[in-house]
Amino acid sequence: MPHGIFYPASQLIYLRLEGALDVMRLKKILPSLRDTLQINSEFDTFIDLSETTDIESSYASISALVSTTEALYRAHPVPRKYAFWAPGDLAFGTCRMFEQIAQDRLPSEFLVSRDAAEAMSFLGRRETTVPMLITALNDERDDAQAGPSAPLAGSTNAPFRSLSAPLEEMLNMRRRCLP
């Protein structure tokens, strides 16, 4: 099940995939993800696969996912960078397959890593854990809301847009629990 939050102030999507992942289902979800999050400017993407338990990962399904992504980006902005945090063997291997197929077809940069800090660093972030990343993103969102500056080009006044109320609650709970 995908859960995503777009933070316009940071120009970053945090996307968490958890449980058993059906790549063909994900292929159908991608277009609605972009529409739901209302992304129409440059951004980076952090994909968290730490809670993924199983992935249907044939070459044909991953290639179809890349084709869907390629078609989607003909009409919409493309992520500058994708950072996949894939600590498990299956998730790591599947993401590396996606990277290999996509690198010649998509204009984005890719990193697949078992280390969350390395994945965040690739996106220019200083945080080393997902809770630290979420706290920093929430702080940046709050600072952008409090400041008198105009909204970022291509964004709305919404502080962030989410696919999932449970994810928002989990992220806000982590933020309250962190020092």
* 70: containing domain: 2-177
pLDDT digits (tens, 9 = 90+) for 113-135: 999 999 999 999 999 999 999 99
The pLDDT, as a whole number, for residue 150 is 44
The domain tally of the chain equals 1
pLDDT tens, per residue, the chain with 179 residues: 677 788 888 888 898 888 888 777 776 666 666 565 566 667 888 999 999 999 887 888 888 888 888 877 776 666 789 999 999 999 999 999 999 999 988 888 999 999 999 999 999 999 999 999 999 999 998 888 886 554 444 433 344 445 444 444 544 444 444 44
Let me know the angle formed at the C-alpha of 34 by 109 and 9, rounded to the nearest 5 degrees: 70
pTM of model > 0.85: no
Cα separations in angstroms, 25 against 18, 31, 120:
13, 11, 27
